[in-house]
Structure 1
Amino acid sequence: MWKHARGILDEMMDRGTIPDMSTFRVLLAGYCKARKFEEAKGLVSEMKSRSLIELSWSEDPLSKAFLILGLNPLTVRLKRDNDVRLSETEFFDDIGNGLYLDTDLDQYENHVNGVLEDSNVPNFNSFIREECINGNLKSALLLVEEMLRWGQELLLPDFSELVRRLCSSRSQIKSMTHLLEKMPQLACKLDQETLNLVVQAYCKKGLLSNAKFILEEMLQRKLRVKNETYTALLMSLCKKGNMRDFHNYWDVAQKDSWLPAFYVFEDLLTYICHQKMIGKALQLLEIMLLSYPHQRSGICYAFLEVVCATGFSGFALGFLEQLRPWFVLDHAGYNHLIRGLFKEGKFDVAFSILNGMLDKNLAPCLDVSVLLIDQLCKAGLHDKAIALKDIILKEHSAFSTSSHCALIHGFYNSGNTEKADTLFQDILSKGLILDSEVCNILIQASFKANDLRKVGEILGFTIRKNLVTLSSYRSLVRMMCVTGRVPDALSLKNLMLEQGTSDGLVLYNILIFYLLSSRNNSLVNKILDEMDEKKVVPNEVTYNFLVYGFLHCKDTFRSLHYLTTMIEKELKPSSRSMRFVISSLCNIGELQKALEFSQEMESRGWSHGSVIQNAITEGLLSHGKIQEAENFVDRMQEGLLTPENINYDNLVKQFCQHGRLDKAVHLMNIMLKKHNVPTSSSYDSVICGFCAQNKLDRALDLYSEMFVHDLKPKIKTQEMLFHCFCQHGRTEEAERFLMDMIENGETPTREMFCSAINTLRMEKNLKKASEMMQAMQQVGYDPDFETHWSLISNLSDDKAKHTDNRSKRFLSRLLSESGFSLKRRFRT
């Protein structure tokens, strides 16, 4: 077949397919296999002309062909047969010379055949490398899968490059984990540079268990862990609240001379302070000051800002005392300190800091000044508040409105409405513009004072100045509806519509919501008619408000009407609407109607939350439709209609009460798969159910599972398990169960001790019975006379044991602990 190879090569070039190195390598292998070495030499010359190889004038083309194929020219040589006595000729050249290969022919044939066989398999490593360079990670991963199916192995350099590329893509971290797990032999050979990137990528994604596993591997292999890697892990651990591991790896990082980068100092410090670890914060500060001596001032200011913002302003004051005299607070530092003190409610200290600022002719920034003015007014220090307002006007004349608004806010909050009104009139006379927040405050204060004239005056002002935002409109409508001033709310809506600055549908939605919330449902029909006249089309929000609102007003019929209308209009009701409607229908006994809505949801693939599933299932169970209840829950699971946060705790207890323990366990397993641990009461119900059915081993499995999830069983559950041990004759396990309870700080019931003693007595195990009675007395229980006497009777009957001095001691102890004495004399 080698005769056709040249023709195929020519056809490739005619069609514009340029042969590459792999093509010529296959041709060389074929010619060398067929012993067509002249053709092989010609191919080498052609490869040189195409700049695929370099060939000097002194090099032998055939030796070069052997090199290209991976053969050693020194061990594979072509010789002419000159021996006339014993011919070694294998083939002849074009002029008839007898030639032979001087080499190990078996090895030669195997090697050439290997090259030909490998040519049938794509060079996946080069393809994967190319896809990585082009950033096509998904394509590279598909090639890896295909490569494994072909039985090829990914080379370590290409594996490392692919892992590094995956690390840089946050969306491919799961794929990287899958790759590492699929190729553990290559994963354990990754270099420290790549492994550092892997740990950092896991930390950024919050996959801390993966990150810790890789880091531990690095530490065991004594590879260098970068500062960035330690920082990423510590920040993630702190953010997740995993403080045990945080302290552990903090110590590891410290021993490894860890130095966080300057740009991450503030973020890391913030996480540490949020976890209330001020000691670690000081350690971090010390590391930074020693490592960045030229940035000491910036480090201290960053430290001050973070500790003040996270609730440690009192500590910051002490910190400043320690740094004096070389570190002096500037304007920004004072502002950080006052903000922190306000956040912690330390207003008196904040006022003293303010005095220190003013003594140095430093004015607080605007946001701090607003905080101070409001609090100064509350403290009755109106003169200081006014003085501070004047300072703002002097320092920041552009913020005159803000300072006036802050003062009005402070006066109203402190109950000084007269001064607030005076200041308000002063602002109006000066032509200053108030913000919407202050106008809203003024209106609310007038409402509280029942000063309707003032309400109208300020409301008119705010509407004329376009200061009524949606937020203030919402709060005003709520207040009007709650206080019975519904006509005012309707008038306000009309004014806002005339103003035309807000979306009309939003204004109607807000009004409908608060009318229904205040049970003014009779007016909602008029609002809906008005919306229809003005061509304002209700949306999902409108219908959800109507469904929930009418249900709130006890008008189930209207609620169902709007829910049905909503679904017919292909609008999806909110989970809240469906939850309340279905649970309400179940509560009033309309189970069939609830099931119809559920089926509608099911047909549309809408998720059934915990409330809906619990309501319908409990309704079916209460009507004795146990199988239908099981089928309903199964259908939810099969249809993937169960959300991640599903809670079946109530249903677990319900199914236990109906003896369907397997279904109860199945529901618990669904919760666990969705990372939602059932409550201890669910476990208690199932364990007690299995005990009642004499399925002790299954009960014990669930009992052990409780401790895995840090759940504490009820004493009644433990008592039931214990009695099951005794009933099944598993006395040793019962005794061990009892002792484990005591060792774990729990107190078994008196009945448990008595049952154990009686079981041991019946088994003639008097030694264990005495030890059990002693344990019973140690936890504070006094055995009853009958139990005492039965033990003494057994001791009397067992003569062999009573001859033992030790048994006598037991009898003496037993009587004395019961209030008797062998020395006592009975008198007649």
Structure 2
Amino acid sequence: MKMSVRRSGTFLLQTSPHSHLVASSRFRSLTTETKQGDYPSPTQTQLPKDQKLTDIVDEICKITRTKPRWENTLLSQYPSFNFSDPNFFLLYLNHQNNSFLSLRFLHWLSSHCSFSPDQSSCNVLFDALVDAEACKAAKSLLDYPGFTPKPASLESYIRCLINGGMVEDALDVFVTLKKVGFLPSVSTFNASLLACLKVGRTDLVWTLYERMLESGIVASIDVETVGYLIKAFCAENKVFNGYELLRQVLDKGLCPDNTVFNSLIAGFCKERQYTRVSEILHIMIAMKCNPDIYTYQEVINGLFKRKNAEGFRVFNDLKDRGYFPDRVMYTTVIKGLCDIGLLGEARKLWFEMIQKGLVPNEYTYNVMVYGYFKIGDLVEARKLYEDMCGRGYSENAVSYTTMISGLCLHGRTDEALSLFREMSEKGVACDLIIYNSLIKGLCQKGKLVKATDLLNELLVKGLEPSVSSFTPLIKRLCEVGDTEGAMRLLKDMHDRHLEPIAGTHDYIIIGLCKEGNFVQGMEWLLNMLSWKLKPKEQTFEHLIDSLLQEDRLDDILVVLDLMFREGYRLKESIIHSLVCKFSKENLHLPNLCLEELV
């Protein structure tokens, strides 16, 4: 199948007989004989027949295998021996039969004996390191002057790199192979595309695909390649582009696997395009690519995000049709039900899955615990948490986060802080979510000093703060009349390239009004509007009330005009105050009459 894909715009597909190329991996052992034409192995190389040399090699192998810090004494043990003989190193490789020790020995030879390994020695060792999935060690061997692995070895090295997550290094090897005119197999390209997706580097997916096009391999590109491109589109939130590519593939009679459809379904659920989700399900059935339990899990998860019970209906329908949900599916539905407040139904499913032999895991427990917290049932939440710990699930960051967040949700900050200290005592690392939950809870309880201490603590520990780390503190500082301190925190956010939510600016304006600093409050309001941010209705009301107290009637007219432009209406109490004030001053209101106020 010939194909040219751009990241946005038109997609072109032309059919040609396609074949699935089976990955061919080459594994060499230091003890196996090489085929004719390969580099010489130690058994093929003409080595001295002197048994004394063989005995010395055996002794050196044993020393480097068993004696610590042998590098400091080996030369003195064999003062007359020629360590720089290339045949000796080949013999050493054969006798040692350990690629890691052999590499260490090679580094020692090069630095202490002026040894320059030949191509054969490097090839043997490089292939052994690649076979052992030691990609970093193999990479260090490439630094030896004049050593260039064989193209087939480099292709195996690509697979070694992607298995180790070193996708950028793998792309560099593709460039090297292109320079020597060697074309890797489609399966190697596909494995690399998949590795790029796994580490979230969709930019490298497109770079690699361009390399495929440049190499002329397009005629051999199979449906697996197309599937990875569709997944890359979905990962970049370009699900409609992925869908367009899918339609073209289907028109050619090809059908990707279920994981590709699942990616599109998840993407459309995220975009709330549920008509498209239904369409994809029908396509799967028509192409005899029956949706599996994972496909429906994406559908159900997406439906629950709409905050209604439609996902629960689909789940029950699946059971009626003979599907057997697994623990992940049950957990997904239980979480969805807890999120929409149907804890009773979630509880029924909890016991149903246990009855079916599906033991709840730690994540399922935490979902239910937080569900109880959301409805305010702290007793059941604590009881279930203790049950989870009693069943052998370790108290880790996830479970502590659930409990601390739930307790802070209901103002139980003392208990939350007690768990927080318990974490440190047990050596459980605190993450940013825990710090943010505590900061928010403490600010709501008015414990500003402790909340500020926690912000400083997370910075000292090297955690990168988020918007949620600063917002509660800024709000509380404005409420207690320390707007200047709030502004310092806001500046700190900007310095860290954190964009505050619109409400943060509302807190500042209201705080300035409470301090009687209405002029700066007016300036801040105008800045908000210039930044295309919509102030809250109460922000306008606080500013009008502050201006009324200072008889700033002209400024009030400006604020009223801005308020009406944003679509807000005045409360009756404010209208009464305005009418009284303007009547008392016996003013005629230009462009603003009583009827407009009402």
Q: Of the two structures, which has the highest relative contact order with CA contacts closer than 8 Å and spacing of 6 or more?
A: 2
Q: What TM-score range do you get, normalising by the shorter chain?
A: 0.3 to 0.5
Higher share in helix: 1
Provide TM-score, normalisation by structure 2.
Answer: 0.48
Max Rg structure: 1
